[in-house]
Amino acid sequence: MIAPGFASVEAQLWIWIMAMIRPGAALMVAPVFGATSIPLQVRIILSAMIGIAAANSVDINLPDSTLISYSGFVFILGEVICGAAIGFALQIGYSAAFVAGEVISNTMGLGFASMSDPQSGASSPVIGSFLSIIAVLLLLAMDGHLMLIAIIVQSYEALPPGNALVSSRVIFNLVEFGGTLFSMGLIIALPVGAALIIVQLVMAMLARSAPQLNLFSVGIPVAVLAGIILLAMAAPVLADGMMRAMELGLEQSEVMAGG
């Protein structure tokens, strides 16, 4: 027999577990939190902390039937979609650094050089991995991780659990926002990429005027050296572009949290 003081413990535990679904889905797809280097136990603890804190601000009505039912499935699916949309919007802004790194790597002649990305664990160009590390540091410096947590908590007021129905208009805005990934990536890579194209044109004219010059043995080292120098010179501009892309991602996350 359960003591009278503990009669509602099981119901409260189920409420907390259901409140963990949305932040858990958001942290799984968001940058920094969703990195392969972050242990699963850490994400579970963070999801519990955010979910329990957010559950105190709204009333969570669990499905009348069991969770293994249609109403329970709809409840869980709505929470997963809402949380994943919030985290994915920020991920789009963050991934602009990868697009910029891909463009710069190909222009420098380093498209063949790849390394394991610490965020996703997949293979990516060396410049893309370098810019992704900078993007992580910038995101933490601008308190983007704290802003994301605040957006998740605020979403419980606009989209309470059990009624987390994201409108089709908001989903369309998220899909349309995906185009920002490529536009912002090209804007970030534009200063270095445009200068490297000029370097490639100069090397092409030298190879045309001096056919005996081995373009592969001279052009690739020159392009790599010019790229490194240009990256150092354009670092403030690249940082501003990446921060702007992530700010747009946070703004879109806030739109998704509003339903």
Q: What is the mean pLDDT of residues 9-14?
A: 72
CA-wise closest residue to 185 among 116, 99, 254, 246: 99
Cα of first residue to Cα of last residue in the chain, in angstroms, is 43
Classify residue 123 by its DSSP letter.
E
Residue 89 has pLDDT above 80, yes or no: yes
Report helix, strand or coil for 221: helix
Is this model's pTM higher than 0.85 or not? no
Report helix, strand or coil for 143: coil
Question: 216: pLDDT confidence band, cut at 50, 70 and 90?
Answer: low
Q: What angle do CA 123, 243, 37 make, to 5 degrees?
A: 35
- Asked if residue 121 lies in contact with residue 209, where contact means CB atoms within 8 angstroms, the answer is no
Question: 206: pLDDT confidence band, cut at 50, 70 and 90?
Answer: confident
Residue 108 has pLDDT above 70, yes or no: yes
Q: What is the mean pLDDT of residues 173-202?
A: 84
pLDDT at 64: 67
Q: For the chain, what percent of residues have pLDDT higher than 70?
A: 83
Task: Give strand pairing partners of 114.
Answer: 125
Question: 105: pLDDT confidence band, cut at 50, 70 and 90?
Answer: confident
Token pair 């990195």 is found at 35
Comparing 126 with 145, which gets the higher pLDDT? 145
Euclidean distance between CA atoms 147 and 144, whole angstroms: 5
Classify residue 36 by its DSSP letter.
T
Euclidean distance between CA atoms 110 and 206, whole angstroms: 21
For residue range 18-27, what is the model confidence (pLDDT) as tens digits? 888 888 888 8
pLDDT at 2: 41
Domain holding 9, by residue range, is: 4-257
- Asked if residue 85 lies in contact with residue 166, where contact means CB atoms within 8 angstroms, the answer is yes
- Asked if residue 151 lies in contact with residue 253, where contact means CB atoms within 8 angstroms, the answer is yes
Euclidean distance between CA atoms 95 and 114, whole angstroms: 17
Please report how the helices 168-209 and 235-257 are oriented relative to each other, as an axis angle in degrees rounded to 10: 160
**Number of domains comprising the chain:** 1
pLDDT at 1: 37
For residue range 112-126, what is the model confidence (pLDDT) as tens digits? 666 666 666 666 777
